[in-house]
Amino acid sequence: MLDRRTFLTGALSATLLAPALARARVSAASTVRVVVDGGCEDARAFARACGLSESAHQDAASLAATLEDMRETACVGLGRDSQVFVLTRLLASRGYRPVYEGRHELVAARTRHTLRGARDAVRTLATALADAGDAWPRWLATAAPRLAHAASLEQATARTVSGLAARGDGPGLLVSWCLLRA
Q: Which of 29, 92, 164, 165 binds another protein (CB under 8 A)?
A: 92
Q: Which residues contact 72 (CB under 8 A, 6 or more apart)?
A: 11, 30, 31, 32, 33, 181
Alpha-carbon separation of residue 61 from 33, 47, 57, 84 (angstroms) = 17, 20, 12, 15
Q: Which of 44, 80, 146, 149 binds another protein (CB under 8 A)?
A: 80
- Closer residue to another protein, CB minimum distance, 79 or 145: 79
Beta-bridged to residue 104, according to DSSP, are 113, 174
Q: Which of 20, 86, 135, 161 binds another protein (CB under 8 A)?
A: 86
**Binding positions for another protein, 138-177, rule CB under 8 A:** 168, 170-173, 175
**Contact status: 93 vs another protein (CB under 8 A):** yes
HSE (side-chain half, CA atoms, 13 Å) at 153: 19
Q: Which helix (H) or strand (E) holds 144?
A: helix 136-147
Residues that bind another protein (CB under 8 A): 1-5, 39, 59-61, 64-65, 68, 80-83, 85-86, 89-90, 92-93, 103, 105-106, 168, 170-173, 175
